[in-house]
Structure 1
Amino acid sequence: MTTGSVELTELQRDAFTELVNIGVSRAAASLRRMIGVQVLLSVPSVDIVSRSAAARLIGEREDAELVVVHQDFDGAFAGRALLIFPQEKSRDLVRAVTGEDLSPEEVEDLADEALSETGNIILNGCLATMANMLQRPLRMSLPAIMRGDGPRIFQPSGDAADSLVLFLYIDFSVRERDIRGYIAMLMDLPSMENLKLLIDAFIDRAIGDADA
């Protein structure tokens, strides 16, 4: 799990995966309160890759257009968080969160609003929980929607050319619909190194609590 000079140890990767899973579990609980039905959300795998590798990875898994909810964040570590769905899965998600059997035209009319609200709950909930557990504040921008394929989504620009991607596969189930997707966090090298230090401090606190 190495990209450039960034390498997570097995312990760091396990701790980060735990943080993310706690974050998405709390985000799922928030989404459940909003729509009134059970929501299951988990992150079975985490990888650090380059932007080009992220584009290639998602291109190998998805050949349809992608829909992305993205929010910028800054604080002890900074970057952009993306919630990514294949187009058809995003339509399933809109139907699931509205709880209605919508026509294709109705889905298109409601898509951006429903996806923005859902993305805001998941990304904000996940990152806010992680920041709280890492004992650092984070500020989040409002959500925005983007559509395109992997290269467009992960295309570097300016100073972001050497940025890295924390790439997380997510399993998502609501109203008996299985909706696969991805969470990606785009961060530059200093932010990634800061995150590693915060994960180490989180591990030290967890070990200290276990020994107490």
Structure 2
Amino acid sequence: MSIQTIFLEELERDALTELVNIGVSRAASSLRKMVGEQVLLSVPSVEVVTRQGAATLIRERENGELVAVRQDFEGVFSGRALLIFPQANSMALVHAVTGGALSHGEAVDMEDEALAETGNVVLNSCLATMANMLQKPLQMSLPEVLRGDGASLFTLTDQHADGGVVLFLYINFAINDRDIRGYIAMLMDLPSLQALRSLIADFIERVAGDVG
């Protein structure tokens, strides 16, 4: 099944990828301070797809249930940010961020709390860095832990049920030698995507001016 991607100019995609990588690098630094361990975060690819496309991408890669940390963001562009992991990986993440000091029972009891805190650090750092570089602040909601499949996670709001796009990032986590794959998704409606594209154009212009 082909995935419907949203067309971006090559320069726009390059600039967006650069912004995302800087944001994720900052998120890794913040997470490193939180857990006191070496944290490696990389983004092998960035896609802009429909919400149905994002659900298909997840379904093609993950068979089981997913766990996600959700935070809404508001500003010149608004939407919902998700840090998504396979449910099977969530306990590995909890053990990684707690330094492996918890028993299995303690880790289960603390799972949602640890996931919410990790998601809060990663999503806030990533989005705040992108917003700063685009010179437009964003307001973030408190984190919420969700479980479900891709179709349920990529629902934006009822009024945008027929539209909207997802900025979909594959991420590789490595914390204290534990490899944990995951995804970051930013769900936006089409006006927010247009606002983001306008900010990216301004960013490209500023960078080009600095280089010149």
Shorter-chain TM-score range: over 0.9
Q: State whether residues 172 and 179 of structure 1, in contact with CA within 8 Å, keep that contact through their aligned partners in structure 2.
A: yes
Q: TM-score, normalised by structure 2?
A: 0.95
In the alignment, does 2:32 pair up with 1:32?
A: yes
Question: Could you tell me whether the CA contact under 8 Å between 1:2 and 1:8 is conserved in 2?
Answer: no
Aligned to 2:118: 118
**Does 2:75 align with 1:54?**
no
Q: Which runs of 5+ in 1 are unaligned?
A: none
* CA deviations over 1:126-162 (Å, ceiling 9, x no partner): 0000000000010000000000111111135421211
Structure 2 CA distance for aligned equivalents of residues 156 and 176 of structure 1 = 35
Is the Cα–Cα contact under 8 Å of residues 50 and 165 in structure 2 kept in the other structure?
Answer: yes
Equivalents in 2 of 1:57, 1:17: separation in Å?
Answer: 18
Give the Cα–Cα distance (whole angstroms) in 1 for the partners of residues 211 and 106 of structure 2.
52
Identify which range, 99-108 or 112-121, moves more after superposition: 99-108
Aligned to 2:199: 198
1:182 lines up with 2:183 in the alignment: yes
Letter in 2 for 1:132: N
Counterpart secondary structure, 1:7: coil
Structure 2 counterpart of 1:163: 164
User: In 2, are the aligned partners of 1:43 and 1:168 still within 8 Å (CA)?
Assistant: yes
What's the CA shift for 1:94? 0.3
AA at the equivalent of 1:75:
G
Which residue in 2 is equivalent to 1:66? 66
| 1:2 to partner: Cα distance | 6.6
Instruction: Give the Å deviation of 1:105.
Output: 2.4
Question: 1:14-67: CA deviations, max 9, x gaps?
Answer: 111110110111111111111111111111211111111111110110011100
**How many residues get paired?**
209
1:11 is matched with: 11
Determine if the alignment matches structure 1 residue 130 to structure 2 residue 130. yes
Structure 2 gaps of 5+ residues are none
Q: Match for residue 82 of structure 1?
A: 82
Q: Aligned letter for 1:17?
A: T
| Superposition TM-score, scaled by structure 1 size | 0.95
- For 2:89 and 2:19, how far apart are their aligned partners in 1? 26
Task: Note if contact 2:156-2:187 (Cα within 8 Å) is conserved in structure 1.
Answer: no
- 8 Å CA contact retained: 1:50, 1:163: yes
Equivalences for 1:99-114 in 2 at 5 Å? 99-100=99-100, 102-114=102-114
Alpha-carbon separation, structure 1, partners of 2:139 and 2:123: 12
Residue 209 of structure 2: aligned partner: 208
What is the alpha-carbon distance in structure 2 between the residues aligned to residue 157 and residue 139 of structure 1? 18
* Partner SS state of residue 180, structure 1: strand
After superposing on structure 2, the runs of 4+ consecutive aligned residues of structure 1 that deviate more than 4 Å are none
- Structure 1 residue 146 corresponds to structure 2 residue 146: yes
| Alignment root-mean-square deviation, CA | 1.4
Shift of residue 86 of structure 1? Answer: 0.3
Mean Cα deviation higher: 135-144 or 155-164 = 155-164
Counterpart CA distance in 1 for 2:54 and 2:104 is: 30
Cα-to-partner distance string for 1:111-134 (whole Å, 9 max, x where unaligned): 111010100000000000000000
